[in-house]
Amino acid sequence: MALTKTQQAHADAYLRRFMAGLKRRNPGQPEFHQAVHEFARDIVPFLEDKKDYKDAHILDRMTEPDRVIVFRVCWVDDDNNVRVNRGTRVQFNNSIGPYKGGLRFHKNVNISILKFLGFEQVFKNSLTTLPMGGAKGGANFNPHGKSDQEVMRFCQAFMTELVRHIGPDTDIPAGDIGVGAREVSYLFGQYKRLRNEFTGTMTGKGLSFGGSLIRTEATGYGCVYFAREMLATRGEEIRGKTCLVSGSGNVAHYTAEKLIQLGGKVVTMSDSSGFIHDKDGIDEEKLAWIGELKTKRRGRIAEYAEKWGADYHEGKRPWGVAGDLVFPCATQNELEEEDAKTLVGNGCMLVSEGANMPSTIEAINVFLDHKVLFGPAKAANAGGVAVSGLEQSQNAMRLSWSREEVDAQLLDIMRKIHQSCVDHGREGDYVNYVKGANIAGFIKVGDAMLAYGVL
């Protein structure tokens, strides 16, 4: 429902006061401010005529995490040096299910980044239709250049404290940047040892010890399924489109894989050092080579250029290359306003966010202003956590579903998320998926919070 001029002016003033208060209460947390701002600018106008939510101060309560657990992680490196890192788990909101969300190991991890990720996770998980609350955690540990033994010792030390705060009905961590199959295995092994129990308290586990088929692929596949749904609203398809992908980790890899399967031409991938541009397109063989490079040899994407004769652009991101479909799958704020203008200028018709908050607010504004099909992270990359939810179900039932069964459920969930975004984000002949995802995600969590009374 469109607001009157007076209501709009009231909402604008409220949003300014709200954001000023949030910044005052959370100084030095720019990523958290950004994630809340992107959400609140849709939610505040939505709440304008909804007295129940407003009287209950739902937005104020939603932006304050249930708790933040911070702990010291000590371990010994291969040269016998004692190393100290900081571990954190942000348990943001468990109104609709146990806390659920990944762990990130990266040198720049801090409280601002983990709070932004935990906040986004609450609404992403709500969109999946599964009963999962939101959390995020991690450490300022840099896995680059560490031996397997060092990573194992770090993971065991990290879990030795985290174990007190998690459990199958309490909080179920998973992977994120720097936490893949290897790390989840070390973490789960230590959890199992300390608790002397075998429950699905982590997801993304190996297939021989409770993992779900398709979990590894889920975020990337889901991101492409979401893109396909968006394209279908304009009678378009992936086949024949030039696709730009950033990153070369888990999400980027399986985004590229599904795009190739569906006939897309993937011409870029990247890592934190730069990007490769392969004008002939990355095919299955080349992608398999990248997978080996990144998960086994743990090398740099620059090596691809030498091996396959592509261009390599040191210190740059792929957004200057002309493409129809854009999949930022590396990290937050990797796509800025100028990049968005360049992409739009080069004719890009769709952005589907595999990473969390990869586009700045200014970049999002450019895409929305130009009516680009823009799938925000909390909708487009929800396939990963959705299949984590399916892994929990299988663990609870002590059985495992086939690849086809899980993939079909993932596709069904991505379609439902797309429909929720359309239902809540339609603006004339354009669907504002950012608004749709924010409002749909908000309603389920907000209604549960209202029902509980003041908590």
Which amino acids are annotated catalytic? 136
Beta bridge partners of 171: 99, 167
Sheet holding 325-328, edge to edge: 311-314, 274-277, 265-271, 242-246, 325-328, 350-352, 373-375
Cα within 13 Å of Cα(447), Cβ side:
6
Establish if 271 lies at the interface with ligand NDP (CB under 6 A): yes
Establish if 138 lies at the interface with ligand NDP (CB under 6 A): no
- Closest approach of Cβ 114 to ligand NDP, in Å? 11
- Closest approach of Cβ 411 to ligand 2IT, in Å? 17
- Closest approach of Cβ 319 to ligand 2IT, in Å? 22
- Name which of 63 and 381 has its Cβ closer to ligand NDP: 381
The single residue among 331, 352, 394, 420 that binds ligand NDP, judged by CB under 6 A, is: 331
101 binds, among ligand 2IT, ligand NDP, none (CB under 5 to 8 A by kind): ligand 2IT
d(CA 216, CA 272): 21
* CB within 8 Å of 309: residues ≥ 6 apart: none
- Closest approach of Cβ 140 to ligand 2IT, in Å? 17
Spatial contact of 322 and 345, defined as CB atoms under 8 Å apart:
no
- Name which of 124 and 435 has its Cβ closer to ligand 2IT: 124
Amino acid at 427: E
Interface positions, 148-187, toward ligand NDP (CB under 6 A): 175-178, 180
- Closest approach of Cβ 253 to ligand NDP, in Å? 7
- Closest approach of Cβ 126 to ligand 2IT, in Å? 12
Establish if 328 lies at the interface with ligand NDP (CB under 6 A): no
Establish if 391 lies at the interface with ligand NDP (CB under 6 A): no
313-325 core/surface letters (b: 16 or more CB in 10 A; e: else) = beeebbbbbebbb
Spatial contact of 102 and 132, defined as CB atoms under 8 Å apart:
no
Closest by CA to 30, choosing from 90, 113, 109, is 113
Part of the chain binding ligand NDP (CB under 6 A), chosen from 5-13, 16-24, 26-34, 267-275? 267-275
250 binds, among ligand 2IT, ligand NDP, none (CB under 5 to 8 A by kind): ligand NDP
Task: Write out the two tokens for 433.
Answer: 């998926």
Spatial contact of 246 and 327, defined as CB atoms under 8 Å apart:
yes
- Positions in the binding site for ligand 2IT (CB under 6 A): 100-102, 121, 124, 174, 176, 203, 356, 384-385, 388
Q: What is the 3-state secondary structure (H, E, C) of 37-56?
A: HHHHHHHHHHHCCCHHHHHC
Establish if 219 lies at the interface with ligand NDP (CB under 6 A): yes
Q: Could you tell me how many residues of this chain bind ligand NDP (CB under 6 A)?
A: 24
As a whole number of Å, the CA-based R_g of the chain is 21
Establish if 255 lies at the interface with ligand NDP (CB under 6 A): no
Q: What number of other Cβ atoms are within 10 A of residue 195's Cβ?
A: 14
- Name which of 344 and 351 has its Cβ closer to ligand 2IT: 351
DSSP-derived pairing of the beta strands 99-105 and 265-271:
unpaired
DSSP-derived pairing of the beta strands 430-431 and 426-427:
antiparallel
Closest by CA to 236, choosing from 244, 228, 245, is 228
- Name which of 178 and 446 has its Cβ closer to ligand 2IT: 178
Residue nearest to ligand 2IT (CB): 102
Establish if 326 lies at the interface with ligand NDP (CB under 6 A): no
Establish if 441 lies at the interface with ligand NDP (CB under 6 A): no
* CB within 8 Å of 70: residues ≥ 6 apart: 86, 87, 88, 111
* CB within 8 Å of 292: residues ≥ 6 apart: none
Part of the chain binding ligand NDP (CB under 6 A), chosen from 45-53, 190-198, 242-250, 278-286? 242-250
The pattern of x and - marking residues 340 through 359 that bind ligand NDP according to CB under 6 A reads --------------xxx---
Residue nearest to ligand NDP (CB): 249
Which residues would be at the binding site for ligand NDP (CB under 6 A)?
175-178, 180, 219, 247-252, 271-273, 329-331, 334, 354-356, 381, 384
